[in-house]
Structure 1
Amino acid sequence: MKIAFFEIEGWEKEIVEKELKSHEVFYTKEALVPENAEKYQDFEIVSVFVHSILRKETLAKFKNLKMIATRSAGYDHIDIDFCKQNKIAVYRVPDYGAHVIAEHALALLLTAVKNIPQAIEKTRKGIFNYQGLRGYELKDKTIGIVGTGRIGKHMITFSKALGMNVVAYDAYPDEDFAKKYEFDYIDLEKLLSVSDIISLHVPLLPSTYHLINRKNLSLLKKGVIIINTARGEIIETEALIEGLEKGIISFACLDVIEKEREFAKFQKTLRAGEVLPDSTEYKTFLLNYYLFTHPRVFVTPHNAFNTHEAVRRIVQISVENILNFLKGDRTTLFVNIVETFAKH
């Protein structure tokens, strides 16, 4: 089999080569995108990360593509319908360590309520006092967890350990888990209205697109903290900005932003001194830049997954997925179980 690994780091080759030594394997640091897809058209298996855009126009250029192994849990960068229609198997990494994402969400929350960046900046300037650094306690605050799959469950256990009150919303409630950890499932509107903190842990689906939006902004409890380590499009950016400006949202803790791939592309374009052709691109850039520079917004660059342990597991599981496919084992095949994934 001819196999190509995109967006690969040097250390990852050792893991891949050990398991796939009998196959022709190609490595590149670049992402697989429409502009370069044609030169890779002969590969039968491709392994990609989230910056590779596998839409119809990309996938259609491959002559004999049999499998995609995405080194991610998310799949919104892949045209699943096209893969189904063309019998292209798609494998993902559903759980490389859900606790890692929850840890990052909690870290962002603590960063906000304990004024960590401001405190560090103050001491770096040689000012060793706590004036202007008064924060907030998390104990007895109500946190609303939206999505109680693997990551959401970890966030619930962390929140409980800190003495927080937990409420949750999920299209498919896990009542046994709720009973064990003593929290209640409630509807989304009620969750928005009673939560001091809202943490989002749902996949990006048509039903979760702009889950937080300008229409339900008024339901939010005044002073709420919003955490999003899932996908940027779950929050309508203009609603988030409006909430910050009106004082409805006290802090926004984000590891993802809306249209983040486009934003990264715009940054490169602007640095190169080129003119953006579309005014909507300027709007996207300006809205996100507003968030990046807002004193009550804390943004990390889609980094929640990025631990030494997790990225190693991601590569190992991806290689196992390829081996399973080559052996004819379809038990972990993803492309036919999208509906199941939506539940978790």
Structure 2
Amino acid sequence: MTASITVRNFFDEEETIVHLNVQLYQTNGKTYYFPDFQATEQFLMQDDFEQLYICIELEEPLEWLSMEKSSKAGRMIKDAAKDAKLYLHIMRLSDEIEMRRTFAPFMEEVAPVADRLKCGFDDLMFFQGCSPKTVQIFCDDLPNTRKKIFYMAPLFNINVGQVICGASFYLEDFFMSRYENLHKYNMAVKPRRFCFPIQPSVKKFSCSVSLDFIISDGFYQNVFEEMSTSLPNLEELILEGICCNIKTQQDIKSLVPVIVKQIFGIAEYAHTVTLMNYCISFCHTLKPAVTRSFASEFAKTSLEVMIADDENEQDMIIIHKNVKFLISLDWRITW
């Protein structure tokens, strides 16, 4: 049996009521609302669960929650998950210091036994030294308000095998991220105060990649040197491209060479198996110019490009050393 427990603030006219939303799967699919942790504890003692999902969504402090109750609730969940896989999802947790302080004992009990973790960078402080199988970072910020580098560093203090970052972390975030590699480059770059720690347990890492900005020579050489230092046992890198839009002839001239240079840099310096998907959208009237420009730019490199045509798009498949790229040219867009 699988149980899902959601701790969430519900607003009921005049007061805030905290419900524990308990959902049973593989049985009758019913949902139960319990008023407190004691009732939930009695419920959990009735069955042995194979999987236990805990979802936290608290935007306001809980006046009734003390550190003692927080610790007791954590022990309850930990005991219920002794023979089950525990999936912990922190959708939202109040940033108020007192709220986090009183919630910390709950995390101290639950975090070490979590099999899978999903949270934001702000919540990683609860999981330092823990050993989940998978950590997934979600981001609800706008792209131009992404977290600074010092928020990302705690991710590398978690002994995890697979990390899924999505739009929360970009490949470029590895650039100049450690002190010891700076001396190799004659660049007037101030060392970052917060460097990524070394985490040997990570085998698979997934993050976003943007190819539409100008890079300096040696950019990806440094990126992958930094990555190989921070993640020395990485076996697979998965890059999810942020879609690039080409709207004008000028965009073709300015963006296509930049994109191809980035692709070549990744292909040349990636030190582990690397898979990347990237989409480039443009109006169908620009198709001839776009395809000619890419063919011309790739001809200047040592990369071999295989073409797969469809009615509304063209896929460029690039395999080089241990790297495989799928670049989709999509001309269904109308501006």
Query: What TM-score do the two structures reach when normalised by structure 2?
Result: 0.27
Pick the structure with greater CA Rg.
2
More helix by share: 1
Higher relative contact order (CA 8 A, sep 6+): 1
More strand by share: 2
